[in-house]
Structure 1
Amino acid sequence: MKSLRTIAITLLVGAASALPKLLQQPLSDVAIRIGKEKGVGHFSEWSRATKKEFLIDWQAGRESEWAIVQGNEGGDLDSMTAALTWAYHLEHSTQNTSNQLKAIALLQTPKDGLDLRPENKLALHNSQMTSGHEDVLTQDELPEDPETLAPKLRGIVLVDHAEPLRKWKKAKILSIFDHHVDRGAGPDAEPRIFEKTASCTTIVARTMLDELEKLPEEYHMPHELLELILSAIAIDSNGLDPDDATDTDIYTSQRVLKRSNWANRTLSDVMEHLDDSLSDAKKDLDALGLRDLLRRDWKGDLVDTPSPRTPTVSLGFASVPYSMDEQIAKTEFEELFDWFAIHAAWTAQIGVDISIVLSKYKTKDKDGQKNKIREVVLTVRDDVRIDQEQADSLFKTVKEALEKEKDLGLRPWHRVQELAPRQMVWTHESGAGRKIIRPIVEDAVLAWD
């Protein structure tokens, strides 16, 4: 039998002898062999080139030439697509003018968090982008802290986001496109559009097409981007379901479809197919552990309070498509204590004082009818910015604010007696998600003293 040392030498020699042959192959073939597939098409090439140019200009101190288009930190397909779309439009629509803009989309999630949304991964793959998300700029690839970078920029554009995160507050807000509640940010932004649509990408795409069609000469619109736009609208509107889609979603989708490679197909066929495939991917989360489920759709920021002792607290929201019982089953010990231990480790890592986890799932009654159930988990820490007395007070304030909202119909969870201090779990069937619960919690924190 050969010794381990002999086997190791044989393997090294074999690898070394194969290396020259590998290096003689085209780079694209090498990329595929090592698990990286280089993107093809104009959209991928533009995105990669823009990212490179931005980093070069940062190194040379030319940040003031750039606008950063950013969505929310949840990083869903709508937010990502809206940012990429408007960045592409800003650069191309001004390229032959005296006021040319340099613009780049920023995904406010870490690179290793993008694959926690399988629908994003599928949509980018379908758009022929480079694997591993190398074409896009992510939060952890920023070469400078946002608080110091923000005032150096030409400005920022908010998409699918009503106001900038605290770390971007020093940046000039150039434009806002959102389908949520107007929070009053960027009053001088232009355009500044708040409109009820299923998808924020709808608002961005409509504005892009309106401006594009007014140009003396239209710039090239890559079909990969058009198809990415349709994907984002499809998944947010359930395939343009009449109960979810607005007239604006439908009309804008039709305009985009006419320019895409799918122009010979019907709108309903395209959108239903996209929704089916992307929704199937979105549900493919069984392999994710609890920590990844908490961080895959996390949104949070610093909130100012009237308290002179604690002027600022960190507030975060997670959305998880599993019941608490199912989440507990995903922990190592499959016990309640382990859920809170993993949650505590995650919130400690990101420095959160108060956390809300919103869960949703479906059950069947005895007649086979599906019921949508939601859960709300509230926790407050006393080891980040606030002490135990303050944490107790803040927990009570937020708990009372949520329970006072009769429209939510919150009921104590079936294992509520097992919870520790400053932990609470409710169930409800109101259908209220983060868009409704977040303002309630934020207002309570703002009023806490």
Structure 2
Amino acid sequence: MKAFRSLFSALLAASQVAAMPPSRFAKQHILSASSKARPFGIGHFSEWSRATKKAFLVDWQAGKASEWIIVQGNEGGDLDSMTAALTWAYHLAHATENSTHPVKAIALLQTASHALDLRPENKLALDNSQMTPDHQDLLTMDELPEDPETLSRKLTGIILVDHAEPLRKWSHAKIVSIIDHHKDRGTAPDAKPRIFETVASCTTLVARQMLDELENLDQEYHMPHELLELILSAIAIDSGGLTSDKTTAADIETSKRVLARSAWSKKNVMEVMEDLDDELSDAQKDIDRLGLRDLLRRDWKGDLIDTPSPSTPTVSLGFASIPYSMDSQVLKTNFAELFDWFAVHAAWTAEVSVDISICLNKYKKHHKNGEKEKIREIVLTVRDDVRIDQDQADSLFKTVKEALENNNEGIELVPWHRADELSARQMVWTHKSGAGRKVIRPIVEEAVMKWD
């Protein structure tokens, strides 16, 4: 473990430069006899991904988008969502390539290409899997040649992974399959496969289904080691190296099955997963260099929400998750003042056309006795320049504010210590519950859906 961490420290330092060397694990199988590392983007998985991206764009240009299925995760773009989409797209294409009805499938990362590296753990995992450093082999939202609302009508369909229901802009697409580890919202009851199961990582469910189907084929297709290692990475970071409270028997057993096919097959699964978790978790924390705007968009999720209001039938709602306190975020602005936080936030929410925004902050407070206390914050803002006027914005702010303060989840919200400095339609609370986005988002969405 110590040796691994030492090597990882060197790797993490090297990640600050343009040409990042492979990880220790990658070195075991990508170094030549002369000990010179091969460049990124020449592995089988990268080549397949790039070729698939080209084929999709060529077919779109030729008016053949209807032949394709898009596999998509959620718009947060974490390692689990990205890996699940890439894995299932690879499986679909290869499992059917010798059949009478081969499937054309491509993974779509619902983030912009320039935002992918805002998650250092994603960059590290992709580098370890020999993907191109500039993401030429990945299809991202800003590279779609057509608006999703238009494209969704043309596709064979979409497949949701790590995502219980599609964003509004994809609502016209047929949902072919759903594989998710969140709450079943009843979307697409006829989808096949349709898998909802509580596990630490959605990639666990995708990999298990993939292996089950792969092992039932008359002849197995080639499974690149780069993809297997990416799968293990996603499961490792979501399960705390298979040791967190979220870890299930399915996470452990699937990891063993994947490991057995990988270049690390002779290693102990717990040791591999612990090392991967250490490596990726350290990278995940390496975001001090990010400014406020990047922190806001780094883990951003949002969609249109229906309301009963005839004048405003839909409202755009966005959520950011930030691992810093409000006080620390203020210091990251140019003027290091509270007004500048809201100026930067306003510029970002204007860019993405959001009416109501929720920022969920979490951090650890250090006490003099050496103890650490986990603190969370909720920042609520409502704009009046997108879909709603000032009176509507005031009403919507009041509705959501009351819903949060009077929640039925046992969350005791306390006004932030500088709450008296906030302007109209701005509020910040602190709380010590473990409630994150999965708890807060339904409260806000339900309030918006009842707002008139």
The residue number in structure 1 matching 2:267 is: 265
Partners of 2:308 and 2:451 within 8 A in 1? yes
Residues 321-332 of structure 1 aligned to structure 2 (within 5 Å): 321-332=323-334
Residues 7-406 of structure 1 aligned to structure 2 (within 5 Å): 37-405=39-407
- DSSP-derived class of the 1:379 partner: strand
Matched, 1:410 2:413: yes
The residue number in structure 2 matching 1:428 is: 431
- DSSP-derived class of the 1:152 partner: coil
Structure 1 unpaired stretches of 5+: 1-35
Deviations 1:106-152 (A, max 9, x none): 00000000010110000000000111011000000001111110010
| Count of matched residue pairs | 414
CA distance in 1, matches of 2:162, 2:99: 28
CA distance in 2, matches of 1:199, 1:367: 36
Q: Which runs of 4+ in 1 moved over 4 A?
A: none
Partners of 1:37 and 1:131 within 8 A in 2? no
Deviations 1:195-245 (A, max 9, x none): 111111111111101111111111110010000000001111111114221
Using the TM superposition, give the Cα deviation of residue 38 of structure 1 relative to its aligned residue in structure 2, in angstroms: 4.7
- DSSP-derived class of the 1:131 partner: coil
CA distance in 2, matches of 1:69, 1:348: 29
Matched, 1:440 2:443: yes
Using the TM superposition, give the Cα deviation of residue 367 of structure 1 relative to its aligned residue in structure 2, in angstroms: 2.9
Partners of 1:106 and 1:138 within 8 A in 2? yes
CA distance in 2, matches of 1:254, 1:109: 31
Structure 2 unpaired stretches of 5+: 1-37
Partners of 2:404 and 2:443 within 8 A in 1? yes
Partners of 2:199 and 2:247 within 8 A in 1? yes
The residue number in structure 2 matching 1:25 is: none
Partners of 1:316 and 1:355 within 8 A in 2? yes
Using the TM superposition, give the Cα deviation of residue 88 of structure 1 relative to its aligned residue in structure 2, in angstroms: 0.2
CA distance in 2, matches of 1:133, 1:189: 31
RMSD: 1.1
CA distance in 1, matches of 2:280, 2:177: 29
- DSSP-derived class of the 1:85 partner: helix
Q: Which amino acid in structure 2 is aligned with residue 425 of structure 1?
A: V
Deviations 1:236-267 (A, max 9, x none): 11111142211111111111111111111111
> Which entry has the higher C-alpha Rg, 1 or 2?
1
CA distance in 2, matches of 1:131, 1:87: 21
CA distance in 2, matches of 1:162, 1:447: 22
Using the TM superposition, give the Cα deviation of residue 370 of structure 1 relative to its aligned residue in structure 2, in angstroms: 1.6
CA distance in 2, matches of 1:195, 1:130: 33
CA distance in 2, matches of 1:39, 1:89: 20
- With normalisation by structure 2, the TM-score equals 0.90
Using the TM superposition, give the Cα deviation of residue 187 of structure 1 relative to its aligned residue in structure 2, in angstroms: 1.5
Partners of 1:322 and 1:361 within 8 A in 2? yes
- DSSP-derived class of the 1:124 partner: helix
Which stretch of structure 1 is more off in the superposition, 180-189 or 132-141? Answer: 180-189
CA distance in 1, matches of 2:421, 2:115: 32
Q: Which amino acid in structure 1 is aligned with residue 434 of structure 2?
A: G
CA distance in 1, matches of 2:119, 2:40: 21
Q: Which amino acid in structure 2 is aligned with residue 346 of structure 1?
A: W
CA distance in 2, matches of 1:380, 1:431: 25
CA distance in 2, matches of 1:307, 1:182: 27
Identity of matched residues, %: 74
